[in-house]
Chain A
Amino acid sequence: AQSVTQLDSQVPVFEEAPVELRCNYSSSVSVYLFWYVQYPNQGLQLLLKYLSGSTLVKGINGFEAEFNKSQTSFHLRKPSVHISDTAEYFCAVSEGGRRALTFGSGTRLQVQP
């Protein structure tokens, strides 16, 4: 069975600093990987996803993520964060033919001025 681990429950960072949110997954088959963002009292919005091909994926709002098959990781990065990036970030995986997503526990990114 697939599982997703987000190693950090909270990440405080100063504005304009770089950030990395970590995600590891476990699966016995090939997977599709996603990062979603949730702003307070809202639904989830896709940031980016990896399906195949280039392991570096670029998404919206200046975020990018790198798929590392040997380390079963899909870490999310942004070189310079803004106050508006304060939100909860979820890593998710769908495995093989199963369309449903399995989510990690989320990482709360708190950008401070």
Chain B
Amino acid sequence: DAGVIQSPRHEVTEMGQEVTLRCKPISGHNSLFWYRQTMMRGLELLIYFNNNVPIDDSGMPEDRFSAKMPNASFSTLKIQPSEPRDSAVYFCASSYETPGATQYFGPGTRLLVL
């Protein structure tokens, strides 16, 4: 099993640029989650999808952030325009859509906005 795949693994960009993070969930999983990890705020949910439909986006910081899941095997998280405070590690996770199902995490994308 390939596990959850995220790309890129590292991204360095300048303030104001658009950033797109990508995620391929585990085949057969129908729930997908985006989390952000920072020293100040720890691990926090940004958004999650069930069957490609956004269910809870209450964690999305503001309109600069958007997420899509056009099909069951691909999701993107876009930041436009990026700001230095967006610097963080962004994790994608996937699971089956059953209560208490284990979430499997990708290796993360480390984003640095200068």
Contact = CB atoms under 8 A, between A and B. Distances in A.
Chain B binds chain A: yes
Interface stretch (B14-22, B74-82, B101-109): B101-109
Contacts of B50: 99
B11 to A, nearest CB: 15
Contacts of B95: 99
B contact patch SS: strand
Contact of A44 (B42, B91, B97, B99): B91
A100 B56 contact: yes
Nearest to A30: B99
Interface residues of B, number: 26
Interface in B46-71: 48, 50, 55-56
B103 to A, nearest CB: 6
B42 A98 contact: no
A90 B44 CA distance: 12
Nearest to B34: A100
Given A94-B100, A100-B48, A100-B56, A42 B43 contact: no
Contacts of A49: 100, 102
Contacts of B4: 43
A45 B33 CA distance: 15
Contacts of A46: 102-104
Nearest to B48: A100
A32 B43 contact: no
A94 B42 CA distance: 17
A102 B55 CA distance: 16
14 contacts: A32-B99, A34-B102, A43-B91, A43-B106, A44-B93, A44-B105, A46-B104, A51-B100, A100-B33, A101-B35, A101-B45, A103-B44, A104-B42, A106-B43
Given A42-B108, A51-B99, A104-B42, 16 more contacts: A32-B99, A32-B100, A44-B43, A90-B43, A94-B100, A99-B31, A99-B48, A99-B50, A99-B55, A99-B95, A99-B99, A99-B101, A100-B33, A101-B33, A103-B43, A106-B43
